[in-house]
Structure 1
Amino acid sequence: MDTSGVIAIQAIRLKKFDDQKIKDGQPPNKS
């Protein structure tokens, strides 16, 4: 099982989620 690919996909999804929150006028949550 290639976990590095899964981690990369999750990172991209998190980045897109943050970009969407910025567009909605909310600060991105940094954990």
Structure 2
Amino acid sequence: MLVGVVVAVLVGVVVRVVEGRVRIHAGRRSTS
């Protein structure tokens, strides 16, 4: 299903953006 692929891509992008923001905001707090 194309919908599944689109959702997977969107989720991947969102995860990257969220991780980037979390890393910037957290900074020294979480070292994962």
TM-score by length of 2: 0.67
Higher helix residue share: 2
Return the index of the structure with the highest Cα Rg. Answer: 2
- Cα RMSD (Å): 1.7
Higher RCO structure (Cα 8 Å, ≥6 apart): 1
**Runs of 5+ in structure 2 lacking a partner?**
none
Q: How many residues align?
A: 28
Query: Where do 4+ consecutive residues of structure 1 move more than 6 Å?
Result: none
**Runs of 5+ in structure 1 lacking a partner?**
none
